[in-house]
Structure 1
Amino acid sequence: MPTNAAATGFWTAMPSGSRVNNARQGRALLQAIYANNDATPLNGVRSGVVVTTGLTVMSDLLVQVTAGLTMSVAPGIGIAHRSGQGPYQGWLLSSASITCDAAPVSSARNDIVVMRWYDSSQGDTSPTGDPCRIEIITGTPGAGDPVTWNSLGVITSFPASAPGGGIGIPLARAQVSTTGVITLTRLRKSVGIPGATRVLLEGDSDSSGRVGDQRYNPATDVYEVKSSDGTWQKIRYGADVGGEWRDARTTPALAATGPTKLQFATVATPPYGLTFNGTDTWTVQSDGVYNVLCQLRSTAAVNGGIAMGATTYADATHIIPFNAFTAGTDYGVSGPAKLTAGQQFCFWFYNNGSATTINNALRNARANIWKQQAAA
């Protein structure tokens, strides 16, 4: 006969005559909904704000300064994991108004806005009897934050000035100056739901997650997926990265026996995800493999060609090597180029003959640059 073991329980399992489930059973149900952030199942639910709104600014539990030392907190739902107890879910159904203590005298003070849970069954004591509160944890002038949070995003202890026990999640840092001005830094982290894309909030900087997780950064409009090697890989962009440019000058010169940096001041397709100086130089904003094309026609046949290179001409710095043509009038270079964020590049025509000009009257010189994929 096999040796079996009892499981802990199941939702709606109630003793005879009982009409309710207990709180721990309810939290176990939440653990089936929210993603774990620990290698041990049920050991650490990712904690923070449940994102339900917004496009570029997610408004759930959003903290804003309204006047002086007063702030507002938007409605929303928060999750905080307590060791051995599972996730606590709290909610704010309508906006709350909160106010910091008076401004410090000598140096600035960091106050932390939190959503805080009190569980009387665990020995917590709420100052108002409310099991979930929006609180300001007042800091010490000239010191750092008055509370810290663990890898799940949970505050597990509070200073003596804010007694009562419980746990919390940070929503914002309100740095109060000696003149009573708040400098606000939002600290919200987002919770995850298995199988769904997690929206990153201002406080999200972790690299954890399971293989197949997806996350979205509204600041850069990038989706990423957790790969088997433990890294996050970009899988889609909110708009095509790249653009198309033209040279609209009538007959720009191509110098004799040497390089000429090509200019493409006319925008044919508005760029996204690339910075252009308006004349001849591009700056990469995100790593990736780019498809590149540059073409022109000269007014006289010369030996020459085009290369994609750095801002200063040198054979050693070519990104796409010099493509040479003998006694030609049509010149071009194309191919894939692996580029990194911050890298600058331009296009060069190297003339091995007499000076000539670009025949833009017949066909404008052009440069097309489109991102094909994220960097491997």
Structure 2
Amino acid sequence: MPQTSTWALPYPAGTQVPNVPADLQALATATDAALSAATAFVGGEVRANALQNLSPGGNALSFPTVVVSPAGVAWDGSTTWTVQQSAPYSLFANARIDNVTGSPAIHFAGTTYSDGTFILPGLSTSSGYGDVSTSGTVYLTAGTQVRAWIYTGTAAKTAFAIRPPMFKIWRK
């Protein structure tokens, strides 16, 4: 029996003798499988479990602790997610840092940090101890690598374990 190209749903060929019960069963089984795959959770959540000393400039945040096991996205165990399916993804990252000067911000970028590699730029915080976070939804193509980078301005800082840095990614 031929199948549709996108969802692999079977349909009888014009030359086949119709067998309505068998054809409907094959279509129902294939539809169930296609819907299960389309609605399956894709994403994960990781956190840091220790202080992270941050150098001036851009720092890739490290997240060694898995909170929600990655599904449908690859995780390198430290800093980088690799998207396995092209789709819109929601991203969230947060960290509490000390000595907030120089308008620090968290940005999502690839494996190198520069204004030209931003996937999703973040907003800055202003002074004192502060939570710095960013979130948003962006279309990512299969194979895209994503890291949460924290820009600390010109001063060294510390990301605290009392509000551990976290990174969440999920397919919309």
Would the TM-score normalized by the shorter structure come out above 0.5? yes
**2-side partners of 1:353 and 1:304: how far apart?**
9
* 1:331 counterpart SS class: strand
The TM-score with structure 2 as length reference comes to: 0.81
The structural deviation recorded for 1:368 is: 1.2
**1-side partners of 2:123 and 2:139: how far apart?**
18
Cα 1:327–1:353, aligned 2, differ >3 Å: closer, same or farther? Answer: farther
**1-side partners of 2:25 and 2:48: how far apart?**
50
Aligned to 2:33: 216
Give the number of aligned pairs: 159
* 2:12 counterpart SS class: coil
**2-side partners of 1:269 and 1:35: how far apart?**
39
The structural deviation recorded for 1:293 is: 0.8
Report 1:273-312 matches (<5 A). 273-302=72-101, 303-312=103-112
Cα deviation code 1:5-35 (max 9, x no counterpart): xxxxxxxxxxxxxxxxxxxxxxxxxxxxx94
Kindly indicate whether the alpha-carbon contact (under 8 Å) linking 2:44 and 2:169 is maintained by their aligned counterparts in 1.
yes
Structure 1 consecutive aligned stretches of length 4 or more whose deviation exceeds 4 Å: none
* 2:116 counterpart SS class: helix
**1-side partners of 2:108 and 2:23: how far apart?**
43
**2-side partners of 1:288 and 1:352: how far apart?**
33
Q: Work out the percentage of aligned pairs sharing the same amino acid.
A: 29
The structural deviation recorded for 1:331 is: 0.2
**2-side partners of 1:35 and 1:295: how far apart?**
49
Q: Are residues 1:266 and 2:92 paired? A: no
The TM-score with structure 1 as length reference comes to: 0.39
* 2:104 counterpart SS class: strand
* 2:127 counterpart SS class: strand
Q: Are residues 1:323 and 2:142 paired? A: no
**2-side partners of 1:298 and 1:306: how far apart?**
11
**2-side partners of 1:87 and 1:336: how far apart?**
46
Aligned to 1:354: 155
Kindly indicate whether the alpha-carbon contact (under 8 Å) linking 1:323 and 1:333 is maintained by their aligned counterparts in 2.
yes
Letter in 2 for 1:325: T
Kindly indicate whether the alpha-carbon contact (under 8 Å) linking 1:304 and 1:353 is maintained by their aligned counterparts in 2.
no
CA RMSD in angstroms comes to 2.5
* 2:33 counterpart SS class: strand
Aligned to 2:167: 367
Q: Are residues 1:341 and 2:142 paired? A: yes
Letter in 2 for 1:216: A
Letter in 2 for 1:295: N
Kindly indicate whether the alpha-carbon contact (under 8 Å) linking 1:274 and 1:285 is maintained by their aligned counterparts in 2.
yes
The structural deviation recorded for 1:330 is: 1.3
Q: RCO higher in 1 or 2 (8 Å CA, sep ≥ 6)? A: 2
The structural deviation recorded for 1:315 is: 1.0
**2-side partners of 1:370 and 1:252: how far apart?**
25
